[in-house]
Amino acid sequence: MPKNQNRKVINTKFPEYSWAEYDDEKLMKLRFSSLRLRLRNSPVWDDVSRLHDELERRGVGVRPHVWLSTEWFCPDGIPGIAMPFYLAHPRLMQLERKMMGDVEGGSRKWRQRILRHEAGHAIDNAYALRRRADWRRVFGRAADPYRESYTTRPGSRRFVLHLGHWYAQSHPTEDFAETFAVWMQPKARWRREYTDWPALRKLEFVDGLIAELGDAPPKRRSRAVQDTLAETDMTLGEHYAQRIDMYGAVDRRYDPWLNRVFTTRAKRQRGVPASRFVREIEPQLRRLLERRARMHPYFIDHAIRHVKRRARELDLVLREPPPQAKRQVVRLHERIVMDVLQRNRENYAL
User: What mean pLDDT do residues 128-145 have?
Assistant: 94
Say what percent of the chain tops pLDDT 90.
61
**How would residue 12 be classed by pLDDT, with cut points 50, 70 and 90?**
very low
Least confident of 170-174, 216-220, 249-253, 310-314: 249-253
pLDDT of residue 2: 42
More confident residue, 309 or 348: 309
Stated length of the chain = 350
What is the CB neighbour count within 10 angstroms for residue 245?
A: 9
| Inter-residue contact 165 to 122 (CB < 8 Å) | no
Tell me what the pLDDT averaged over the chain comes to.
87
350/348 Cα distance (integer angstroms): 5
73/65 Cα distance (integer angstroms): 12
Write the burial class of residue 146 (CB in 10 Å: 0-12 exposed, 13-18 middle, 19+ buried).
Answer: exposed
**How would residue 156 be classed by pLDDT, with cut points 50, 70 and 90?**
confident
Whole-structure pTM value: 0.75
| Inter-residue contact 259 to 316 (CB < 8 Å) | yes
More confident residue, 279 or 6: 279
pLDDT of residue 19: 95
Residue 329's alpha-carbon distances to 95, 141, 229, in angstroms, are: 26, 43, 40
User: What mean pLDDT do residues 81-103 have?
Assistant: 91
Q: E-strand spans in the chain?
A: 65-69, 80-84, 262-264, 316-318
- Residue 346 pLDDT > 50: no
pLDDT of residue 341: 64
